[in-house]
Structure 1
Amino acid sequence: MMCGDALLRQEPWFISLATIGALYSAAVVFRLLPHLALLLRRPTDLRHRYGAWAVVTGPTSGIGESLALELARRGLNLVLVGRDPAKLQDISETISKTRAVQTKTVVFDLSLVATPQGDEAMRRLQETVEGLDVGLLVNNAGVAKPCAVYLHEMDVEAWVRMIRVNLWTLTEVTAAVLPGMVQRGRGAVVNIGSGSSEAIPSFPLYSVYAASKRYVAQFSRSLYVEYRSKGIDVQCQAPLFVETKMTWRAGKRGKQGPLSRLVMPTSDAYARAAARWIGHGPLCMPNLGHRLQWYLCRVAPDRFLDALRLRENLRQRAVFQRLRSPRAPSHANGGKQS
C-alpha cells in the first residue's frame, strides 16, 4: 500500500515529463515536415525560375565541385571562379563532356580581394558575367586553414586571408552579381555558411572561422529581407560535417554504413539536397541528418556542448600538428579545401 501511495505521489512528475517529451517530439516532427515535403515535391527548375547561368566560387573540390556538377546536371550554364587555372580547366572539361551546358572560367585568387591583383580579377569577373542571364550565385569558396589552433598560435596573415575570403570576397562578388539580377527582376544567391555558427554555442580552436561564418548567416538574412520584393531569393546554407578532403585529414572520415552517411553525407549527396533547398527560406540545413543533429543540440546544455566541442577540436589539433610535422608521411598533405 505504501508503495502504491508513493507511486501515486510521483505520478504527476511522470505525467509532466511525459507531456514535455511529447510536446518536444511533436515540435521536432512539425519542423521536419517542410523538409520531408520538399523531398517528395518535384525539384524546382532552377533555370526556368532564375536564369540560364550560375556563378560558382571555389568549384574545384569538395562541396563546390559537387554543387557545380549538380547545377550542370540541372541544365545551368556555369561561370567557374577559382584560383587554380589547371583545376578550373579540369572541372570545366568534365562538365562539358558530360552535360550539354556551357562553361566559362575566371581565374581569381579570392584571398587577394581589395588588392590591385584582386581588383583586376574582379573586373574580369564582371566582364565575364556582363550580358549573361546569371540567375544563380553560389558563394561556396571559404577558408578554414589553419585548422584547430588557439588564436595566439595563428599567424596574422592566415586569419587575414580567412577574413578576406570568407567575408570580404563573398560580399564583393555578391555586390558584383546582384545588379544584373535586380535589372532582370529575378535571381538567387546561395551563401555557404556553417553549422558551427548555427547549431552549437561555440566552436573553440576555430574561433575566427566560426565568427566569419556567422557574418555569412546575418549578411544573408538581411539581404533576404532587402531583395525578396525584387524577385531575388537570398539564402545561407549551414551544413555540419560533410565528407571532404578536409574532414578526412581531421580524422573524421566516416564508415560506409547508412547511419554514418546520415551524420556525414558525401559532398555529392549534400549537393543534391542543397540544390533542392534553393529558394526555400533565408537559412537552411539541406541535409536531413544535419537537421536532426541541430535539433539534438538544442536540447543539450550549452556548457555540455562547449566541453564536448573543445575536447573534439583538441583531438583535431593533435591530428593536424602531426600532419604539419616535417616527418609526417607525404600522402597526408593532399587535403585542402577550396
Structure 2
Amino acid sequence: MVLWRFVKVFVMGAVLEDRMLLGLAAVGFLYILRLVYLVVPWFYAYFLRPAKPLSRYGEWALITGSTDGIGRAMTVELARKKINVVIVGRSPTKLDELSKELTSKYKAQVRSVVVDFMDDDLEAGLAKISQATSDIQVGILVNNVGISYPYARFLHEVDENLEKSLLRLNCETTTKMIHLFLPSMLKRKSGLIVNVGSGAVGILPSYPLYSVYAATKAYVEQLSRSLYVEYKHSGIDVQCQAPLYVATKMSKIRASFTAPSAEKYAKCALACAGYEPVITPYWVQSVMWFIIRLLPEPIMDSILLSKNLNIRRKGQAKENLAKKE
C-alpha cells in the first residue's frame, strides 16, 4: 500500500513536471515567434525594402526650412534624385546660394520663395508660395520648418515670444502648408507629405523642460497618423519622420554613430518615405527607440530630467556670460 502511494506520487510529480516543462517550452516558443514577428519586418524595412520611386509623385518637391540642417540635406538629396525643388526660407542669400549649388551640381530646376513663417501675416506668406507654384504640380511636400528651445527650461521660463514661435512654426504652419497642397494632390490622386517630427514624442514617455516643444511635435505626429488613414486610399502617402538627435545647427551636436549627419539622415529619410505613418528613419536610432521603450517610465523620466537640468544650467551660464560681455 505504501509502495503504491509512493509510485502514484512519483508518477503524478513526473506528469506535473512534464506539464511545467511543456508550458515553459510553449512560452519560449511564443516569445521566439514574437521576436521573429518584430525583427524580420524591421530588418526588411531598414535593409532590404526598396525605396519608393519619388518620381511617381510628380516632378516637383517643396521643402520648408530648406536652407539649413535636415531641410537642406533633404533638398540636396531630392535634387540628386532628379526631382525639381521649390525651396522656401527666410534668408534670400542662403536661398540663392543653395539654388546655384543645385542647378550647377544636379541640373535641377529650382524655384526660391522668401518667406518668414514667423511674420505676423502668415497668410501673405502662404499666398507667395501659392503664387510661386501656381503653374507647376507639387507632388512632394516636406514640412521641415520648425523650432525648439534655445536650451532646456521650465514652462514658467518660456516667454511669450518663444511660445508663439513654437505654436506657429511647429503646428500652424505645418497644417496650413498641407491645406495648401492637399487639394491638387487629391485631384491627381497622387502625393507624398513628409512632416518632420521628433523622437522626443511617442518614443519617450515625457520630455521635461521641453514641454511645449514636445507637445507641438506630438501634434505633428497625431496629425500625420490621422491623415495617413484619411488619405491612403486616395493615392496620398502621409508620414511623420521622428528622428532622435541629428547633427545640425539646431541640435548643436557633432555627428556620431548614434547621431548621424544631416546628409546621412536625409538618405535614410528618403529611403523610407511613403511607407509607415510614423518612422524613425535612421536604423541605429530605431534600435535605441526599442531599448528605451523597455525601460520603466519612472527611470526614463528621471534620466531625462537630470540630463535636461544639466542642459538648462549650461544654457543659463552661457546666457549670463553673454549679458556681462
Query: Do the aligned partners of residues 264 and 18 (structure 1) sit closer, same or farther apart at CA in structure 2, a change above 3 Å counting?
Result: farther
Residue in structure 2 matched with residue 152 of structure 1 by the alignment: 156
Percent of paired sites with the same residue: 38
Shift of 1:177: 1.0
Does the Cα contact within 8 Å between 1:54 and 1:78 map onto a contact in 2?
A: yes
**8 Å contact kept, 1:111–1:162:** no
Match among 150, 175, 189 for residue 171 of structure 1: 175
Q: Using the alignment, how far apart are the partners of 2:156 and 2:162 within structure 1?
A: 12
Give the corresponding residue for 1:91.
98
Residue among 201, 214, 230 paired with 1:210: 214
Q: Does the 8 Å contact 1:58/1:140 carry over to 2?
A: yes
1:247 aligns with 2:254: no
Q: Which of these residues, 259, 265, 272, is aligned with residue 270 of structure 1?
A: 265
Match for 2:54: what amino acid? L
The one-letter code sitting in structure 1 at the alignment partner of 2:57 is: Y
Aligned to 2:12: none
Q: Which residue, out of 112, 118, 133, partners 1:105? A: 112
Q: CA deviation at 1:265?
A: 1.2
Please give the alpha-carbon distance, in whole angstroms, between the structure 1 residues aligned to 2:34 and 2:44.
Answer: 16
In 2 relative to 1, CA 74–34 (structure 1 residues): closer, same or farther, beyond 3 Å?
Answer: farther
**Structure 1 counterpart of 2:51, from 35, 38, 43:** 43
1:325 match: secondary structure: helix
Code of the aligned partner of 1:155: D
Map of 1:120 onto structure 2: 124
Residue 143 of structure 1 pairs with residue 147 of structure 2? yes
Query: 1:59 aligned to 2:54?
Result: no
Give a deviation string over 1:190-230, Cα, whole Å, max 9, x none: 00011101111000010000000000010011111111111
Q: Contact between 2:189 and 2:236, CA under 8 Å: does it hold in 1? A: yes
Give the 3 Å change call, closer, same or farther, for CA 303–18 of structure 1 in structure 2. farther
Q: Which runs of 5+ in 2 are unaligned?
A: 1-16
Question: Does residue 290 of the first structure (1) align with residue 285 of the second (2)?
Answer: yes
Q: TM-score, normalised by structure 1?
A: 0.84
Report how many aligned residue pairs link the two structures.
305
> Following TM superposition, by how much is the alpha carbon of 1:42 offset from its aligned partner in structure 2, in angstroms?
3.5
Residue 276 of structure 2 corresponds to which residue in structure 1?
Answer: 281
* Cα gap change, 1:324 to 1:17, in 2 (>3 Å): farther
Matched, 1:197 2:201: yes
Q: 1:310 aligns with which of 305, 312, 324?
A: 305
- Could you tell me how far apart the structure 2 residues matched to 1:264 and 1:243 are? 6
Aligned with residue 165 of structure 2, among 149, 158, 161: 161
**How far apart in 2 are the matches of 1:140 and 1:16?**
49
Give 2:89's aligned residue: 82
TM-score by length of 2: 0.87
Structure-2 residue corresponding to 1:33: 40
What stretches of structure 1 of length at least 5 have no aligned partner? 1-8, 255-259, 331-338
Contact (CA 8 Å) 2:103, 2:109: kept in 1 or not? yes
